[in-house]
């Protein structure tokens, strides 16, 4: 959930490390630090807070450490409150480390080390790893790492430097992601390619239990038996422009506006002769027709994409679909067996609960399909079948374009599944696929109308709480709209199926409580309007998201965001989510919040 960077080469590394950390700020953090080999010692500088106000201010005051090899970290607190002492890097005079993940048995290790005379300064689980490495170290770093790892339980990605080896970085991982970047006369470690992309596009994926040893001219890999490993180099397929704001005020706004292009990038290569073709992903019509049940397992926004997928698959293919929160799925002894398909959706491909749920599904005999955005991620590598969502880097913590392409992929899957099952014919499948391909143009039109979203956002500024309602696919959308607003504005918000209002929730409606009603499904429109009237008569301030041609009376809605009339009901979620994203974005901006890095949130949740 936090960021790791390491550099070894010929350049002074302090500025390189700090610059790389800034590119990882979007992952979420509460402190930052660097450790550099300097004049025969390891010099560490770290501070609570944002990089600019904390670490950089401290470096300006104390001076930057002078050296060409170092490691750095942005921490998101799990053990011990955010503080200078609890910040990473952590270590002692001989060994210093940075760590992502959680050490589950750190208390037992700590008690053992205290019995051996070690003292502890921080409240972190990370310090136990640093001191355990020191306990085992007798001159050979790899031996110490192998011995320490045999005692450790949990998830980790570790970057390690030893005082006795001033031009080397050691790295190892289990569960938490870590890559090794290959440059010219310089090499890197990083938890995310974004951190080092300005220096190199070449990288190695570090697998579970592999140890990397880097100096400026070489990279070596070893297994936990100290055997040498040969690895294949990977090439990043995007550049720094994709990870920059490009003139937009925030990454989130840029990513909202990128949605039409990333839909095309994701779906067009998977359409042949006007029909969906997922064969490159290991998916065939025969396979799709063989599944009796489907489980969609995901977290947060990805789970909401799964809810949209459920509606579409069940409607078109008539196959039962269950949408599961990954953290619940893995602990409730799910009834999953051979012949079932488990679809795991994750932007990062490293979401800890989703990865564990997928592994459980495989153990139970189900086939697994991953829908992920990050190439070479853990979920991507372990799934039986794989669909990449070509959204490019998503820097803002609140997901927008990744969600959009997840939905687009679920549509393609539903269309091909329905055709394979004989529930729709080729003519209908071509028609639906053609409509999907036209969606980017509809979204572009919506994005021309940001003024209405800004006006609506201004009406929400003083709200303490609000409600999103909808029916069918609109309810799925209201779930995502509510989450976006919570994430960004910090206003309490809930989503409810509109038909459930009278079963308790309507008691929350008082004068001027905002209600955002999504009403795009024509077969449910009259019923939704009836539910809207129920809240309006009780004093709610109603904002309706509906087709442009509908003109609500004042006794129905106070404000309207209009959507193109020519979008088919089934595909409306892709159009209608855009105003919900914009409303959340502008509400956050008007409230003065950090839009791209909301408080307490991290981009990739790699711990439970």
Name the token pair of 140.
């050979």
* Domain at 122, CATH number: 3.60.20.10
Residue 601 belongs to a domain: no
Residue 607 belongs to a domain: no
Residue 241 is predicted with a pLDDT of 62
Name the token pair of 591.
């409230």
Residues 407 and 503 placed together within one structural domain of the fold: no
| Domain's final residue, options 423, 445, 467 | 445
Residue 606 is predicted with a pLDDT of 47
603 part of the active site: yes
Residue 607 is predicted with a pLDDT of 47
Closest CA to 42 of 170, 168, 163, 223: 163
Name the token pair of 505.
């929730």
Residues 158 and 264 placed together within one structural domain of the fold: no
Residue 605 and residue 239: Cα distance in Å, rounded? 24
Residues 56 and 129 placed together within one structural domain of the fold: yes
- On the CB side of 231, CA atoms within 13 Å amount to 23
Strands 465-470 and 492-497: parallel
Residues 584 and 511 placed together within one structural domain of the fold: yes
Residues of the chain with pLDDT under 50: 606-608
Q: Which residues contact 212 (CB under 8 A, 6 or more apart)?
A: 169, 170, 171, 172, 180, 189, 204, 206, 219, 220, 221
Closest CA to 524 of 573, 599, 471, 456: 471
* Domain at 473, CATH number: 3.40.50.10490
Residues 431 and 471 placed together within one structural domain of the fold: no
Residues 415 and 505 placed together within one structural domain of the fold: no
341, 387 in Cβ contact below 8 A?
A: no
| Domain's final residue, options 185, 208, 236 | 236
Residues 73 and 221 placed together within one structural domain of the fold: yes
| Residue written as token pair 């170290």 | 137
173, 182 in Cβ contact below 8 A?
A: no
Domain containing 565: what range? 450-590
Q: What are the Cα distances from residue 3, in Å, to 72, 192, 201, 239? A: 8, 7, 18, 19
Residue 600 belongs to a domain: no
Residue 79 is predicted with a pLDDT of 59
Total of domains in the chain = 3
Residues 434 and 464 placed together within one structural domain of the fold: no
Residue 176 belongs to a domain: yes
362 part of the active site: no
Instruction: Give yes or no for a cis peptide into 89 (omega within 30° of 0).
Output: yes
Type and span of the H or E element at 205: strand 202-205
Residue 36 is predicted with a pLDDT of 95
165, 133 in Cβ contact below 8 A?
A: no
Q: Which residues contact 154 (CB under 8 A, 6 or more apart)?
A: 101, 102, 103, 104, 105, 106, 125, 174, 175
Residues 465 and 366 placed together within one structural domain of the fold: no
Residues 440 and 489 placed together within one structural domain of the fold: no
- Estimate the crossing angle of helix 426-447 against helix 401-420, to 10 degrees: 170
DSSP 26: G
Give the ranges where 346-472 is alpha helix by DSSP (H): 352-363, 378-382, 401-420, 426-447, 450-460
Residue 333 is predicted with a pLDDT of 84
Q: Which residues contact 125 (CB under 8 A, 6 or more apart)?
A: 78, 79, 99, 102, 103, 106, 154
Residue 595 belongs to a domain: no
Q: Which residues contact 234 (CB under 8 A, 6 or more apart)?
A: 202, 203, 204, 205, 375, 376
Name the catalytic one among 23, 43, 442, 603: 603
pTM: 0.76
The torsion angle over the Cα atoms of residues 531, 510, 491 and 576, rounded to 10 degrees, is 20
Residue 596 belongs to a domain: no
Residue 194 belongs to a domain: yes
Residues 483 and 577 placed together within one structural domain of the fold: yes
Exposed / middle / buried, residue 11 (Cβ in 10 Å: 0-12, 13-18, 19+): middle
Residue 217 belongs to a domain: yes
Residue 482 and residue 466: Cα distance in Å, rounded? 9
Residues 33 and 129 placed together within one structural domain of the fold: yes
| Domain's final residue, options 445, 474, 502 | 445
491, 465 in Cβ contact below 8 A?
A: yes
């Amino acid at each position: 959930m936090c960021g790791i960077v390491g550099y070894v080469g010929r350049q002074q590394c302090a500025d390189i490390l700090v610059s790389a950390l800034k590119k990882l700020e979007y992952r979420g953090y509460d402190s930052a630090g660097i450790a550099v080999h300097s004049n025969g010692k390891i010099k560490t500088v770290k501070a609570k807070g944002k990089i600019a106000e904390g670490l950089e201010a401290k470096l300006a005051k104390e001076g930057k450490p002078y050296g060409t090899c170092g490691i750095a970290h942005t921490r998101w607190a799990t053990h011990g409150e955010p503080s200078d002492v609890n910040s990473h890097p952590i270590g002692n005079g001989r060994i210093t480390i940075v760590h992502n993940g959680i050490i589950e048995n750190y208390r037992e290790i700590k008690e053992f080390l205290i019995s051996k005379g070690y003292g502890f300064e921080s409240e972190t689980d990370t310090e136990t790893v640093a001191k355990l490495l020191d306990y085992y170290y007798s001159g050979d770093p790899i031996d110490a790492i192998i011995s320490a790892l045999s005692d450790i339980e949990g998830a980790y990605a570790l970057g390690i430097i030893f005082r006795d080896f001033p031009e080397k970085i050691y790295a190892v991982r289990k569960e938490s992601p870590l890559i090794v970047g290959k440059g010219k006369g310089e090499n890197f470690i990083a938890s995310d390619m974004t951190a080092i992309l300005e220096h190199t596009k070449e990288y190695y994926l570090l697998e579970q239990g592999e140890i990397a040893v880097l100096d400026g001219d070489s990279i070596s890999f070893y297994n936990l038996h100290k055997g040498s490993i040969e690895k294949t180099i990977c090439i990043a397929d995007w550049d720094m422009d994709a990870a920059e704001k490009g003139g937009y005020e925030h990454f989130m706004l840029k990513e909202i506006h990128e949605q039409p292009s990333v839909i095309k990038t994701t779906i067009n290569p998977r359409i042949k002769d006007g029909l969906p073709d997922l064969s490159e992903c290991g998916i065939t019509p025969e396979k799709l027709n063989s599944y009796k049940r489907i489980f969609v397992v995901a977290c947060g926004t990805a789970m909401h994409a799964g809810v949209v997928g459920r509606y579409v698959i069940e409607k078109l293919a008539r196959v039962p679909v269950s949408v599961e929160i990954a953290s619940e799925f893995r602990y409730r002894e799910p009834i999953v067996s051979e012949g079932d398909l488990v679809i795991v959706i994750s932007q990062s491909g490293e979401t800890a609960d989703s990865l564990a749920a997928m592994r459980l599904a495989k153990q139970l005999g189900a086939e697994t399909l991953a829908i992920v955005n990050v190439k070479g991620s853990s979920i991507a590598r372990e799934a039986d079948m794989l669909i990449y969502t070509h959204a490019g880097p998503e820097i803002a913590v609140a997901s927008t374009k990744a969600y959009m392409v997840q939905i687009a992929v679920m549509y393609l899957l539903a269309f091909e599944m329905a055709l394979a099952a004989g529930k729709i014919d080729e003519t209908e499948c071509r028609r639906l696929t053609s409509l999907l391909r036209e969606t980017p143009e509809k979204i572009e039109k919506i994005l021309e109308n940001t003024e209405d979203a800004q006006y609506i956002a201004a009406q929400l500024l003083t709200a303490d709480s609000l409600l999103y309602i909808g029916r069918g696919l609109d309810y799925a959308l209201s779930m995502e709209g509510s989450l976006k607003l919570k994430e960004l504005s910090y206003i309490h918000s809930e989503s409810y199926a509109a038909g459930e209002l009278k079963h308790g929730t309507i008691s929350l409606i008082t004068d001027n409580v905002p209600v955002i009603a999504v009403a795009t499904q024509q077969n449910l429109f009259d019923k939704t309007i009836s539910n809207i009237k129920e809240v309006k008569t009780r004093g709610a301030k109603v904002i309706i998201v509906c087709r442009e041609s509908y003109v609500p009376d004042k006794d129905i809605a106070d404000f309207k965001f209009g959507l193109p009339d020519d979008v088919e009901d089934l595909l409306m979620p892709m159009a209608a989510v855009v105003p919900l994203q914009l409303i959340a974005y502008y509400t956050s901006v008007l409230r003065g919040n950090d839009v791209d890095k909301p408080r307490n949130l991290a981009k990739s949740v790699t711990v439970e």
